[in-house]
Structure 1
Amino acid sequence: MGIYGALSTAVSGLRAQAFALENISGNIANSQTTGYKRMETGFIDMVTDAAVGRQVAGAVSAYSRSTNDVRGDIINSSTGTHVALTGSGFFVVGERTGMSDGNSIIGGSNFYTRRGDFEMDREGYLVNGAGYYLKGVPIGATGNPIGSVPETIKIDNGVIPARETSRINYGLNLPADPAVGLYTGGLTDISGLDLEPFKEASLNGGAITTFASNGAPVQVELRWAKTDDAPDTWQLYYQTASDPERWLAVDDAVATFNANGTLATLNGDPIGANQVANITMGGIEVNGTTLGDVELNFGTGGLTQFANTSGRASDIQLFQNGFPAGSFLGVEISDAGRVVATYSNGEQVDLYQLVTADFNAANMLKRLDGGVYAATTQSGEPIFSLEGGIAGSALEASNTDISDEFTKLIVTQQAYAASTRIVSTSDEMLREALNMVR
């Protein structure tokens, strides 16, 4: 039995080294495949049952060992929809299961991949080089993800409709000692002969382009006039017409200030140190175009009366939330994992939040074609997260080390050759034994 045992053991060695060679071959072949995870080979010794003094080394069996938890190098990409994972986890993707009326049907099953070379196809899906469709969670109107269940990302490349301005964030400092005197006109509607005295007794408060419901631009110009010294009181005006010129007082925009320059009251309401100050400009109309009600938000500490040597309003900051209609220009994935669409009106809209999936035993995932994996009972169920480490405009390279694979190739070749010598020697010894009988 010794010769036969040696022969059987040598054959198991041949099988094991051939198995290792297959893994090495696959690793080298995929050394340039995006997101590829190399396969290592492990060996198990198989010992026959015998008394301690009669045990022999035994045969060998080979098995594959995944390296799904070993990250490849992160390389920059010029494509905005390429994305890499800087931490553990996987992108959640789906596969196309068929076509209906020329449109793709995406199956409901989730698969997982580190391959992030996604690009938008003709239908608006983000598809990687292996043909798998990226999934994420939609972003709502508040800018927050809606739910946590990933769905296939599909981007509408149509026109984004205009959004009417509903809020203006406004900040400025009115001078404690203005370069103009008190405005004593006492008028809320100023035009004609009253214009010159009004302008001489008021300060420029900035201008901003807002947008009507149809996307028409509306230039809103603002001025402040100091109307009292005890306490320091200011009134806000806006230009409602430019030809002929006409200014209207904003009814609720009467501000008083404390001696230290902080806002005391707005529209007669006391304002605390950390209180948000805002008013509503009702029914704004400029040159015949109606904006409707607009919230004027000064935030906390945005409206002040500190000393200013120029005697003019300073630190003017204006931002509004409206925009005209715009056509789709492109899409990219940010470092925060947001799928962001860009439009010709300069707007960028967050559409989806990418979802990453972690596993308690990532190396127990089942490997499928195209660098994707399926969950197994050994890997456990996916743990979804909206906060996975993501790098936009980047790709993860294969984690195969060519030099290391060539080293393993040489060792495997030598081990295989040595096993063939055992087979040859066993065969010769077996022939000697048979010849002895003859």
Structure 2
Amino acid sequence: MGIFGALTTSVAGLRAQSYALENISGNIANSQTTAFKRIDTSFLDLIPDTGVNNQLAGSVTTASRETNTVQGDVQAASVSTYMAINGNGFFVVQKPGSFSDNQPVFSGVDNYTRRGDFALDKNGYLVNGAGYYVEGVPIDPATGNMTGSVPQVLKFANDFLPAVPTSVVSYRANLASYPLTTKHDNSIPGSELLQPADFASGNPRTLGTPATPYGDATITGAAKNNKLSTPTPITGSTLLNGGTNTDSLTTNFVLGDTITVDGTAITIVNTPTNLATNEINLTTGTIQDLLANIQAITGVAPTISGGAITLHSGTAANLTVTTSNTTAFGALGLTAPVNVPRTGGGTAGTGQVLGSDLQAFINESVSGGAVTAYDISGSPVSLQLRWAKVDSSSLGAGHTDTWNMFYQVNSSATGTDLAWQNVNTDFTFSPNGQMTPAIAGITLTAPTIGGVPLGNISINFGAGGVTQFADANGNVKVNQIQQDGFPAGSLQTVSIGQNGRVVGNYSNGRNIDLAQISVATFNGTNFLKRIDGGAFEATDQSGQALFGSGGTIVGSSLESSNTDIADEFTKLIVTQQAYSANTKVITTSNSMVQDLLNVLR
């Protein structure tokens, strides 16, 4: 290589630096382009074939060095359909070759891009700012599974989402061990229970439950003392009327007072002898005289122990006690009026509550929550639940804590109309509050609610889903009540979930996965061919697109350009200096040629 070789090498150097400058200018120009991948410049020396002692630095050429694997910053965006890939991979896209009737016509050739500023166009396609249409795999809205594996251009039509009838209700609740029904009375064992005898139209307990014979019920009053100077508990010999410092009630009954038991009046009279039936002498009458009169009416003897009186209903009738002197009656430890229903009674279980017995049912049960269910056309129906405790272990041997569940059939039922239906299952609980035996769920067979027929509905409790623990509020605490049906709805908007799924937001409030955005990777990522709009084409060197190992799609986000302005400015300075140095070599070579020509002169 001589002087002229130096000239041509310097020209090659100018050309190489110009090429680098072009790449730098392009990088800077696209510093704000979404997901732009900068192009660096590689300088390659060209060495002529010479001897070892005659080796030359040689000329230079340039080549582009791709940075497709260098990710830009991922930044949040306010548009729900924007997305970015955090990690390796590209969105699979297509660009229409033409349009027909305002609809895109695709060539079927896939391109690839990191530009994720996709938005829904008027035709229902997701299109980015460069005009590329995203591809993915549709999802079956019924199963939530992808319907294939080959990406296709996604289109989301504004169609209706068909109604889905309710088929499953998930239910979790705790039943208060002592429900505070309207009729409960802490002093009367079993008063919190559903009383079949109160239902004139039939026993609402589980269908086929045998009729329970009437049983005796009790009520125990508060312990009371007499009016001795040193008070002692009242006994059967305590007088109903007495003076100071006597074994008598702290408040006296007086002449003419009455205590009416089951409709029969017991009267305080001033007749010392020859007392008529249901009469008690004013001056000599004792608590035992009163209890004996009550026994004659109810058939069961009341008792007194520790100053507390226990009354019995007997089996002939419910016990009702009223009095004309409530203050004196209170000195007995009892509060008028007294109402103690007999246990048992009623017919065999019918499993139904008719309209005529509606109030009795409401009084003796507690709300179990409600959920809106849907029929096959998507019409809403309010599925109301109630629980009634039908037996209690507190009643002694042979009794267990047992509940029945009901659902409302007709909210405006009257007379012989069916109001509530028993699910016809006895739910029993052990002392530790767990259902024994465990019942995982029950099925309502084609119920008709409010005149709307529904299909079979499974109410699932799961393992330990229904318990019976003490609750100060005395009600049913519903922890979960969810159903799987919904009405029809039209597509309102779409958004990108964090798992890369396109989510449809419908007018019925449902969010349904519609498609999975596809992410393609390549073995030779930096050998993809660039085309307009931040897109790439596959080449022999890049290899074919691979699926299943790409990065994570981040919704409502965009990837920034990976161009670093400071770095590009630094390269710009270096390139400028190198270009100037090459021009200096040309000037020097030219001067040397002139000196050579001057030798001939």
TM-score, normalised on structure 1?
0.93
SS at 1:390 equivalent: strand
Q: Does 1:419 align with 2:582?
A: yes
Report the CA distance between 1:222 and its aligned residue. Answer: 0.4
SS in 2 for 1:264: coil
Farther off after superposition, 242-251 or 111-120: 242-251
The match for 1:258 is 430
Which sections of structure 1, spanning at least 5 residues, go unmatched? Answer: 272-276
Question: 1:6-53 CA distances to partner (integer Å, 9 max, x unpaired)?
Answer: 112111111110110110111111111111000001111221222222
Q: Amino acid of the residue matched to residue 106 of structure 1?
A: F
Structure 2 distance, partners of 1:117, 1:252, is 58
User: Quick check: 1:355–1:388 contact (8 Å CA) kept in 2?
Assistant: no
Letter aligned with residue 305 of structure 1: Q
| Counterpart amino acid of residue 70 in structure 1 | V
Superposed CA offset, 1:83-124 (max 9, x none): 111212111111212233432122322211110000111110
Deviations 1:393-429 (A, max 9, x none): 1111111111211111111111111111111221221
Cα gap change, 1:142 to 1:333, in 2 (>3 Å): same
Q: Which amino acid aligns with 2:402?
A: T
1:316 & 1:260 partners in 2: Cα distance? 19
Range moving further from structure 2, 416-425 or 185-194: 185-194
Q: Which has the higher strand share?
A: 1
Taking a change above 3 Å as real, the CA distance of residues 68 and 100 of structure 1, as seen in their structure-2 partners, is same
Alpha-carbon distance in structure 2 between the residues aligned to 1:261 and 1:70: 61
What CA deviation, in whole Å up to 9, does each residue of 1:209-235 have, x standing for no partner?
112222221111100112233443222
More displaced 10-residue stretch of structure 1: 20-29 or 400-409? 400-409
d(CA) in 2 for partners of 1:100 and 1:280?
54
Which residue number corresponds to residue 274 of structure 1?
none
1:388–1:166 Cα change, 3 Å: farther
Distance 2:435 2:580 in 1: 88
Matched, 1:88 2:76: no
Change over 3 Å in CA distance of 1:386–1:82 after alignment to 2: farther
Q: TM-score, normalised by structure 2?
A: 0.68
- Are 2:393 and 1:221 aligned? no
Q: Do residues 191 (structure 1) and 354 (structure 2) align? A: yes
Deviation string, structure 1 residues 61-84 (Cα, Å, up to 9, x no partner): 111111111111222211110111
Give the 4+ runs in structure 1 shifted more than 4 A.
Answer: none
Structure 1 residue 250: Cα displacement: 4.2
What is the one-letter code of the residue matched to 2:492? L
Whether the 8 Å contact between 2:413 and 2:419 is mirrored in structure 1 is no
Q: Could you say what secondary structure the match of 2:574 adopts?
A: helix
Instruction: Find the residue that maps to 1:24 and give its secondary structure.
Output: helix
> Superposed, which structure 2 residues align to 1:1-400 within 5 Å?
1-140=1-140, 141-180=142-181, 181-185=192-196, 186-187=203-204, 188-229=351-392, 230-244=399-413, 246-251=418-423, 253-265=425-437, 271=439, 277-385=440-548, 388-400=551-563
Query: Does structure 2 conserve the Cα–Cα contact (< 8 Å) formed by 1:118 and 1:128?
Result: yes
Matched position secondary structure for 1:9 = helix
Contact preservation (8 Å) 1:355, 1:386: no
- TM superposition shift of 1:184: 4.0
Distance across 2 between alignment mates of 1:138 and 1:299: 33
Contact 1:252 1:279 in 2 (8 A): no
RMSD (Å), alpha carbons: 1.9
Deviates more, 1:143-152 or 1:179-188: 179-188
Q: Distance between the aligned counterparts of 2:429 and 2:68, measured in 1? A: 63
Q: Does 1:430 align with 2:593?
A: yes
Identity %: 50
**Quick one: distance in 1 between partners of 2:599 and 2:549?**
76
1:89–1:357 Cα contact (<8 Å) kept: yes
- Deviations 1:232-283, CA, capped at 9 Å, x for gaps: 3222111111112643334354322333222333xxxx55xxxxx2222111
Which has the greater radius of gyration? 2
Aligned residue identity for 2:7: L
Equivalent position amino acid for 1:26 in 2: G
Letter in 1 for 2:58: G
| Deviation of 1:202 (Å) | 1.4
Q: Partners in 1 of 2:550 and 2:434 — Cα distance? A: 40
Alignment partners' CA distance in 2, 1:184 and 1:139: 54
What SS does the aligned partner of 1:407 have? helix
Across the two proteins, how many residue pairs are aligned to each other?
Answer: 429
Quote the Cα distance in structure 1 between the aligned partners of 2:143 and 2:58. 67
Structure 2, gaps ≥5 residues long: 182-191, 197-202, 205-350, 393-398
